[in-house]
Amino acid sequence: MFPIHRGILEFLGFSVLQPEFIYSVERLTDEERKAVLNNWSERLINIEKEIMKS
């Protein structure tokens, strides 16, 4: 993802947020899946703050 973020998007003037990677989602337990989804939900709710930092 770094070459795309840095080499293309940032080079063209876009503000790029950090990507969200979740590995081996097929192996997550229900509790782990809920935690991942809660973290993603919180990130989306607070995305405006993340945008202001970058």
**pLDDT per residue as tens digits for the range 17-41:** 888 999 999 999 999 999 999 999 9
Quote the pLDDT of residue 13. Answer: 86
* Percent of the chain scoring above 70 in pLDDT: 98
Could you tell me if 36 and 28 are in contact, meaning their C-beta atoms sit under 8 angstroms apart?
yes
Q: Is 25 left (phi over 0), alpha (psi -120 to 50) or beta?
A: alpha
Give 42's pLDDT tier (boundaries 50, 70, 90): very high
Could you tell me if 5 and 16 are in contact, meaning their C-beta atoms sit under 8 angstroms apart?
yes
Quote the pLDDT of residue 54. Answer: 62
Report yes or no on whether pTM surpasses 0.85. Answer: no
Rounded to the nearest integer, the mean pLDDT of the chain is: 89
